[in-house]
Every structure is written in C-alpha cells, then in structure tokens.
C-alpha cells in the first residue's frame, strides 16, 4: 500500500537574480502571470492534487508571501462595502485554511537540496511533494494531480520530466533511463546539469517531485554539487536502488517563469485562455508582430 501524499514543500528562498531589479524587494514567486502570483498557481495545483499541508521555505525579503496567504481585513471590508463581491471571493478562495500553511526560513540560499532539507521537521516520515513555483504548468488535470495518480500505482520517487534540446541539458537534472513505457521512464541514474556532450539523455527534471522521506538521509550529508550548491538531484540519485525512481512525461505545457522569455510567454498563453482577455490580447499581439 502506497502512503498518500498530503504535504507539499515550496522552496521559495532563491535570490531570483535573473529577474533583478524586479526581485530586489519583491520575491520572484510573487511575480504575477496575468493577475495571479506564481506561488498561488503552485499552491492551487497542489490543493487540486489532494495536498492538505503547505510548507513554504522562504528567506529574507519574502514576507509578501506570508501576507498573501493571510486575511487582509481592511481590504476585505472595503471590497464588501463597495459591493466588489467577485474580487472578495477571489482573495478569500486563495487562503489555504488556518493551520494548513507553515513557513520556515532557509537562512542562506545554499541550493535547492538545502531548501528542501530545511523542511525536514515538517515532513517526518511521510512521502511529500515539492513544487517550484517558477515552473508554471498549464495542464488539465494539473501536473501534480497526474503525478499523484501514477504515484499511487508505482510508489517510490517520481519526478515530472520533459525533453529539452540537447544544448540545454546543462541547465537541468537529467535522467539516465533504464526503461520507458507509456510516458513513464524508470531511471537508473541522474546527473545534475551535465554537459550536452556527456548527458545520458535529454529527459530533464522539471519543478515537480514526489519524494520519499529517505531523501533527507542523503541531504543530511550537505554535500555540494554542480555550481557549489547542495543539489536535490544528487540526493535523489543516491536513493536509486533503495526506492524505485520514475520520471513521468506529464501532459501539459511548462513555462520557465524563472527566465524572462518564459515568463512573458506564460503571460501571453494564460491571457489567451481567458475569455475576458483573449480577443483584446490577440488583436494587440497582431499589432506588434
């Protein structure tokens, strides 16, 4: 029997240097796509996948996220008085519920593996999900829901994967595939940011993971890897052989909102899906291209 996934970790302590100066005082994860911050998309995707507890690993200058997931009493009152009930519903619907959201701080941004390790006391001995909010995924059902469904069959560690152009492997964790069937690839190894010449495949890990708590044993070592950072990929690689490790080719479209082009593309794509915006945005784009 596979234990269900009820907790999710959101590492949001990165410096977001590619988005400076916007991210000097504003967390990258609060950047809006159309009218909703990236972190809210991720929390909603997790909620739709059955997640009940949300653990945000934050850092200095990230308090806007704590405010975002809390009541804004004056604003709520003003919206009510002005009869703006739709806007009021919108801001109330995004609240995860009392006692459902936890914050811990990664005091120094030592890497994604270190950020996840900072959440260890909230996880104890349960499987858990990790979502990187800057990978925004347009999918129905959501990417994590697709993963939870497959996870209930295969257990172990499961990550979302997609093919990237070979020249891009140096930006991702890459799977060394033992076998692939029906969109599910069993990995016999993982390499973080390999040179395109030696990458074992082009199947790259994107920002969605379901992990067994054993990964913390490997993160405890605090070994540094590519870029001098404590890499989650390295710790996951060490679990291969202890637990099954699979990559799922999810159905949907990922936008790398950590990059400027990906972020702009996400804004266009999400706006074009909105009935209230699609026509106007289409006409506007035609004027520019």
Q: Alpha-carbon distance 247 to 162, whole Å? A: 9
For Cα atoms 193, 195, 200, give the angle at the middle one, nearest 5 degrees: 80
User: From the CB of 132, what's the least distance to ligand UTP, in Å?
Assistant: 4
User: From the CB of 241, what's the least distance to ligand UTP, in Å?
Assistant: 26
Output 11 or 37, the one with its CB closest to ligand UTP: 11
User: From the CB of 156, what's the least distance to ligand UTP, in Å?
Assistant: 23
| 67 C-beta neighbours (distance < 10 Å), count | 10
For Cα atoms 93, 14, 35, give the angle at the middle one, nearest 5 degrees: 35
Q: Alpha-carbon distance 179 to 174, whole Å? A: 15
Nearest to 234 by CA among 117, 107, 109: 117
| Cβ–Cβ < 8 Å for 238, 217 | no
| 122 C-beta neighbours (distance < 10 Å), count | 17
Class of residue 227 by CB neighbours under 10 A (exposed 0-12, middle 13-18, buried 19+): exposed
Output 19 or 151, the one with its CB closest to ligand UTP: 19
Output 15 or 277, the one with its CB closest to ligand UTP: 15
Class of residue 172 by CB neighbours under 10 A (exposed 0-12, middle 13-18, buried 19+): buried
End-to-end CA distance of the chain: 54
Q: Alpha-carbon distance 125 to 214, whole Å? A: 8
User: From the CB of 101, what's the least distance to ligand UTP, in Å?
Assistant: 16
User: From the CB of 145, what's the least distance to ligand UTP, in Å?
Assistant: 20
Q: Strand, coil or helix: what is 26?
A: coil
Residue nearest to ligand UTP (CB): 14
Question: Where on the chain is the footprint of ligand UTP (CB under 6 A)?
Answer: 11-19, 28, 57, 106, 109-112, 114-115, 132-134, 258
Q: Alpha-carbon distance 245 to 242, whole Å? A: 9
| Cβ–Cβ < 8 Å for 235, 218 | yes
User: From the CB of 18, what's the least distance to ligand UTP, in Å?
Assistant: 3
């Amino acid at each position: 029997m596979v234990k269900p996934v009820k907790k999710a970790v959101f590492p949001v302590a990165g410096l977001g240097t590619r988005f400076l100066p916007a991210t000097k005082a504003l967390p990258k994860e609060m950047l809006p796509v159309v009218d909703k911050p990236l972190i809210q998309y991720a929390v909603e995707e997790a909620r739709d996948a059955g997640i009940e507890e949300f653990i945000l690993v934050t850092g200095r200058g990230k308090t806007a996220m704590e405010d975002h997931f809390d009541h804004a009493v004056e604003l709520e009152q003003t919206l009510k008085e002005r009869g703006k009930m739709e806007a009021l519903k919108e801001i109330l619907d995004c609240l995860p519920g009392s006692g459902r959201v936890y914050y811990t701080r990664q005091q120094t941004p030592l890497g994604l593996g270190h950020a996840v390790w900072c959440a260890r006391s909230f996880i104890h001995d349960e499987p858990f999900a990790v979502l990187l909010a800057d990978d925004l995924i347009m999918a129905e059902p959501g990417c994590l829901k697709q993963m939870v469904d497959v996870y209930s069959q295969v257990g172990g560690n499961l990550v979302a994967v997609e093919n990237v152009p070979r020249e891009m492997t140096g930006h991702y964790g890459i799977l060394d595939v033992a076998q692939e069937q029906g969109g599910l690839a069993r990995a016999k190894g993982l390499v973080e940011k390999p040179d395109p010449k030696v990458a074992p495949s082009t199947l790259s890990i994107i920002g969605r993971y379901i992990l067994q708590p054993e990964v913390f044993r490997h993160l405890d070592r605090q070994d540094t890897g590519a870029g001098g950072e404590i890499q989650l990929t390295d710790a996951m690689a060490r679990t291969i052989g202890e637990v099954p490790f699979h990559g799922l080719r999810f159905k949907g479209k990922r936008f790398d909102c950590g990059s400027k082009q990906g972020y702009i593309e996400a804004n266009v794509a999400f706006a074009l899906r909105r009935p209230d915006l699609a026509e106007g945005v289409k006409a506007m784009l035609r004027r520019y291209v």
